[in-house]
Amino acid sequence: MSQALQQHHNLTMYRDEQLLATASALMPTLHSQAISPVSVINTVPDSHALHGWRAEKVADACTWLKQPFSPGDSFILDFGTHGVGWLNFICEAAGSPPDAPAHLEFIFGETLCEMAEPFSDYQGWLSSSWLQQHHEYIDVLPADITLARRYCFRYLKVRVVALSPKYQLRFKQITLNSVSSAPDEYPPCNATDPQLLKIDEVAVRTLRNCMQEVFEDGPKRDRRLWLGDLRLQALVNDVTFANHDLVRRCLYLFAGHRREDGMVSANIFVRPEVRADDTFLFDYSLFFVDTLYNYLQVTGDISTARELWPIAFRQVELALARCEAGLVTDSDEWWSFIDWHDRLNKQAASQGVLIYCIDKAVRLAEVCAPEQVAFLHDQLTWVKRAAHQLWDEASGFYISGSARQISAASQIWLVLADVGNAAHQLNVMTNLLQSPPSIGMNTPYLRHHFIAALLKCGLRERAVAEIKAYWGAMVDDGADTFWELFDPQRPDFSPYGSKLINSYCHAWSCTPAWFIRQFGL
């Protein structure tokens, strides 16, 4: 994820070198795979296609690359699939010895719009430095060059900007050496529905491409470990690559650099050294508890759970400190993520997250600190009971904030929090399906929780239909990997002011594979 900006100056942070040493020892091996371009394409305006562009094949890549190129020549390579890694190319001069440097421009795109729409027009509010481009000046030919930065793309535009009139340029090879810390092998999907099988395939590729030295949110942007994404990635990892050490490493990274009061950050930088961001989110910090609980459930690694338990417990304490009469206090200056939505009031959904995570804390405490179970149980009862204050009988929905906002997020999270009995929860979800509030769902991240809530209420068929309608629509639009943002009604939506900067391989969108495999859909 990327959050509207939060900045804290003069923060005092605590660094636990022992925990960081454990994280460091768990640095994964990256597996590499060479991907060659398949074809050369043009982008053609098409109002029926995603973002208004479709690809038109010009030639097979291997045939095309046999020709020598001149200044002004430009072409778009389609690698056939989305990949993350290092671009290598081998080129030579055709003609006289090269008496001037070769100047090449590369533009990398996850989508066709990055090929068709000039980056110079970008007006979004996230840094344009995320737009993937590179100028290379080659002083010596022939050359075997691997660009220094990692890129994330399916499409590559190559422009021969300048040579000398005495030579042309010939490419011997252009390769994406893709990397991932996911192993090559993973269990097959047992679904029989071809559409679900395809959705699973795209979801697994999404996770694979986000699995690097940490679980990244998006390998194009922000390339970073976010707690909210980690929690969902860990679920899919459990039923596919089973790289539990990577989950463990990420938990230790969050634990290793915390705010003075013990709060874990929403995200972690790992280079040049491990450093927590100064973004703190109510919900994300709590998810440390759930992620640790899930890790323990899957691995049985009690010693890790016990070592990290105090940090998990501290997140609950800090969240509880925000409560008044058992309710999360709303205000203008707090931060909880829930969804990318400008108008969404976060109080009710955050209450749901708090209940959900205290419940997991109780279960962790049973293993790690039985003496704290009673306390946590009391707190759980307290905040769960308080949640009923948010219920609005007239609408049949939970309300949030002083303006009594009704949103999809509030319903979803209070159902996931198991507030009310099963019949009540089913009523809430049914009402949500029948009378969707205007404050809806913007991200696949919230959509994940929607599906989870449907399944919790036994609405299995509806869950499948929603997965197909949402993630299936991305597949129909040509997704190789699932996107950070997708609103079927507004395919150009970006909270950042430009679809060019959206991430099109995004961790929090990979969960259909978990639903399909875990629930045998």
Kindly list the residues in this chain that would bind a copy of itself in the complex (CB under 8 A): 2, 5, 7-9, 71, 95-103, 125-130, 133-135, 137, 139-142, 149, 161-166, 221-224, 269, 271-272, 275, 277-278
b/e sequence 130-158, b meaning 16+ C-beta within 10 Å: bbbeeebebeebebeeeeeebbbbbbbbb
Number of neighbours of residue 77 by Cβ within 10 angstroms: 25
Of 131 and 419, which CB lies nearer to a copy of itself in the complex structure?
131
The answer to whether 491 and 468 have CB atoms below 8 angstroms apart is: no
What distance in Å separates the CA atoms of residue 53 and residue 153, rounded to the nearest whole number? Answer: 17
C-beta of 218: minimal distance to a copy of itself in Å? 12
Closest CA to 372 of 310, 296, 320, 419: 310
Of 221 and 506, which CB lies nearer to a copy of itself in the complex structure?
221
Of 10 and 47, which CB lies nearer to a copy of itself in the complex structure?
10
Strand order through the sheet with 267-269: 225-226, 267-269, 275-276
Of 222 and 290, which CB lies nearer to a copy of itself in the complex structure?
222
Retrieve residue 191's tokens: 């679904």
Retrieve residue 19's tokens: 């925990």
C-beta of 194: minimal distance to a copy of itself in Å? 40
Number of neighbours of residue 296 by Cβ within 10 angstroms: 21
Of 136 and 487, which CB lies nearer to a copy of itself in the complex structure?
136
Of 97 and 188, which CB lies nearer to a copy of itself in the complex structure?
97
What distance in Å separates the CA atoms of residue 293 and residue 226, rounded to the nearest whole number? Answer: 17
Of 95 and 401, which CB lies nearer to a copy of itself in the complex structure?
95
Outline where 257-342 has alpha helix (H).
Answer: 282-299, 302-320
C-beta of 110: minimal distance to a copy of itself in Å? 17
Q: Return the beta strands (E) in 122-256 as ranges.
A: 133-138, 143-146, 151-162, 167-180, 225-226
C-beta of 100: minimal distance to a copy of itself in Å? 4
The maximal CA–CA distance of the chain, rounded, in angstroms, is 83
Does residue 196 sit in helix, strand or coil? helix
C-beta of 463: minimal distance to a copy of itself in Å? 35
C-beta of 240: minimal distance to a copy of itself in Å? 28
C-beta of 274: minimal distance to a copy of itself in Å? 11
Of 99 and 476, which CB lies nearer to a copy of itself in the complex structure?
99
Count of all residues that appear for the chain in the document:
521
C-beta of 500: minimal distance to a copy of itself in Å? 13
Closest CA to 409 of 461, 473, 338: 338
